Amino acid sequence: MNKKLNYVLFLLATTAINIVIMGLLFFIPFVLIAIIFKKYIDTVLPILYIVMPLVSIFGGFLIYSKLYKIFRQKVDMEKYFEPLFKKKW
């Protein structure tokens, strides 16, 4: 495999991981809060519909950033990956 194919596969894998992280950060707390506040579900549910997407987006970004930082420290990116588009100066 060449460097560009490695980069494409890396982008696809990290995108899938990010989507899974966001999904987990949305559904697990959503279900737990709905179970805990079952008695007040009529008032809690509209708040959850607003808060949980924001929590999943920002939380997913933070977790993804930490994982990417750890990955960059462990792997020499220039050795295995080459950008698809290069700047022409």
Report the mean per-residue pLDDT for the chain.
85
For residue range 29-70, what is the model confidence (pLDDT) as tens digits? 888 888 888 888 888 888 888 888 898 999 999 999 999 899
Mean pLDDT of 14-30: 91
Decide: pTM greater than 0.85. Answer: no
SS3 per residue for the chain:
CCHHHHHHHHHHHHHHHHHHHHHHHHHHHHHHHHHHCHHHHHHHHHHHHHHHHHHHHHHHHHHHHHHHHHHHHHCCHHHHCCCCCCCCC
